[in-house]
Amino acid sequence: MTGTIYPIQRIVNWYFGNFCSRKCFNKDGRLRECYEKLQKFAELNKNLTMTCRQFKAMFDAGHIKICMLKHDFRRKTVGWYQFEEWTRNPAFDADKFE
């Protein structure tokens, strides 16, 4: 199955909104730092195009070293209902997931 090819800027924005923001929603400093790193990656690779699936695979494999979360949790896709549940839990800490 092939996906739609997008410019890297669109992909990093998609990734940040759907993965970073859902896992580290309560870590403002980390979100800001990771956002800046993703934007720098996009700026350095302006002409790069790929599918979202390809980018996620590279990110999950650690080829793009930005995320500070543990490997297994970094690879996890978080659905909207799971995200809402975590936001209601004041003890939620993404760093404690294996």
Q: Distance of CA 12 to CAs 88, 90, 92, Å? A: 27, 28, 25
- The one-digit pLDDT tens for each residue of the chain (98 residues) are 468 999 999 999 999 999 999 999 999 999 999 999 999 999 999 999 999 999 999 998 888 889 999 989 989 999 999 999 999 999 999 999 86
* Domain positions in the chain: 6-86
What pTM was computed for the model?
0.90
Q: Are 8 and 41 in contact (CB under 8 A)?
A: yes
What pLDDT was estimated at residue 98? 67
